Structure 1
Amino acid sequence: MFGCCVAGRLFQTNLQQVDETHALFELPDASTINHVCVFLLGTTPFPDGYGATVHFHWPGKGFQLLGMLSNEKPSAIFRLRGTFSSSTSYSAFDSMDTSTQDSSMSPSVTAMLGISIETLQQIQPQMDALQSVTTVAKPSPASNPILLAEKIVRHLFNYVAGFSGGLPGSKTSVSMSVIAKWYENFTTKIKTTGIGFLEREE
């Protein structure tokens, strides 16, 4: 019913069934994983009113909720690197031996991707809580002057690089009119859309 694919690897369908509503994928060489895609294979849809939550387990740190799948959302891509939050308990997977591995950042560590089939009524509060935590945890450039300054300078550098060939160490002069044009465009964009575009352009 489910498949998963780590970026740069072959997709996996070797699901380990825990019980009727819970299953696991093993993710070898976990410290090298940046993103993972989880999806329905299309052979069996969820029963009406059901979906699945997706959880990531790093040895010694418990399970972290990543997101959900449903018939309306049959696939999702999750970022793993640097996103692991505080340890959480997820008792449905306790029967699996997930705590015996070395939890260092060695490439040989095998993590787990847990899938739990639940009613959409059970899933929605979890998604609301996850959204709330993600919103709070993500630093805003507006609240951090150093971060904001870095993003503005990077934006200016990328703009000017287009006029100098973009080569590091290039001694090509850039006219002040180019800087003035960047400033005009930049301030107009800030006034009309806010600073969100600085996040999207990374």
Structure 2
Amino acid sequence: MFAAVAAGNPLQLSSEVADSNGLQHTIALSSTKSRACSHITLFILPNVTFPENFIATVYFKLAANAEFQLFGYLSLEKPSAIFKVRLPGSSAPQPGDGLGEIDMDEDGDSGPGDKALVTIGISIEPREAGLQKVQAWRAERASAASRNTSTLVLSRPAGPAIATAGQLAKAYPLLTRDLAAKIVQHAYNYLSGFLDANGNVSIKRFDTWWDKFRNRLENDGTFLDEISGA
């Protein structure tokens, strides 16, 4: 149902956990050489019809005796995610929902033959309950970050609340420009796959893109950070 591939390594399929009625899956990347592993891509297989009312919460652990840690989710509208493996670092995953970082031992000696014992756990859960779990994890991550960092946070003096797109653009012109560019790029990337012989796209395709984009934005707006120009 799922598959994962670490950069420079072969694709590995998931296996069902016994007695889970197909609701839990694991992918053991034990044959992956840690030094050759920079990114791990996890995705739902193309021939799988994922149920609309469920999500697949994603967990990682880097040792056989370690506990799984929540790291994000997959769903019908978000069928894949990329996770970055960073060397050197601690022996435990650091939170990051897609393009997050999984720290691994500096010396790379986490298993026989310099192999990384990366295990992905996947749990298929009812959509509402699963998203509540993900939201709670994000809140906990944000709270931990606020306690452990001295990075300045962008803020504005007290004043009228921003209630319109125009007020947002006036207050944060550069961020608004970047947001608009990412939305246009996302639309272009999607619609360019439906061009006819004259270079035109049906308005129905645009409506479909907008519905999917709006739904994904409501569920996880951080996907905008992954959009880049051609």
TM-score after normalising by structure 2: 0.48
Give yes or no for contact 1:56–1:112 (8 Å, CA) kept in 2: yes
Question: Sequence identity of aligned pairs in percent?
Answer: 30
| Residue of structure 2 equivalent to 1:27 | 29
* Runs of 4+ in structure 1 over 6 Å off: none
Q: 1:76-91 counterparts in 2 under 5 A? A: 76-81=81-86, 82=89, 84=92
- Residue 62 of structure 1, CA deviation: 0.7
Give yes or no for contact 2:43–2:74 (8 Å, CA) kept in 1: yes
User: Are residues 49 and 140 of structure 1, via their aligned partners in 2, closer, same or farther at CA, if it must alter by over 3 Å?
Assistant: farther
Higher RCO, Cα 8 Å, sep 6+: 1
| Residue of structure 1 equivalent to 2:72 | 67
- Residue 137 of structure 1, CA deviation: 4.0
User: Are residues 140 and 75 of structure 1, via their aligned partners in 2, closer, same or farther at CA, if it must alter by over 3 Å?
Assistant: farther
- Residue 104 of structure 1, CA deviation: 5.9
Using the alignment, how far apart are the partners of 1:140 and 1:10 within structure 2?
A: 40
- Residue 8 of structure 1, CA deviation: 2.2
- Any stretches of 5+ residues in structure 2 without a counterpart? 95-107, 154-171, 179-224, 226-230
1:53 paired to 2:86: no
Q: 1:49-198 counterparts in 2 under 5 A? A: 49-59=53-63, 60-81=65-86, 82=89, 84=92, 105-106=110-111, 107-138=114-145, 139=149, 141-142=151-152
Amino acid at match of 1:116: S
Give per-residue Cα distances to partners, 1:31-69, cap 9 Å, x unaligned.
434431111112122223112011112222210111100
Q: Give me the CA root mean square deviation.
A: 3.1
User: Are residues 85 and 57 of structure 1, via their aligned partners in 2, closer, same or farther at CA, if it must alter by over 3 Å?
Assistant: closer
Give yes or no for contact 1:46–1:70 (8 Å, CA) kept in 2: yes
Amino acid at match of 1:17: E
Given candidates 39, 44, 52, the residue that maps to 1:40 is 44
Give yes or no for contact 1:30–1:111 (8 Å, CA) kept in 2: no
- Any stretches of 5+ residues in structure 1 without a counterpart? 87-102, 144-190
> What's the secondary structure of 1:51's corresponding residue?
strand
Give yes or no for contact 1:22–1:115 (8 Å, CA) kept in 2: yes
Give yes or no for contact 1:22–1:116 (8 Å, CA) kept in 2: yes
1:5 paired to 2:5: yes
> What's the secondary structure of 2:115's corresponding residue?
coil
Amino acid at match of 1:67: G
Using the alignment, how far apart are the partners of 1:142 and 1:21 within structure 2?
A: 42
TM-score after normalising by structure 1: 0.54
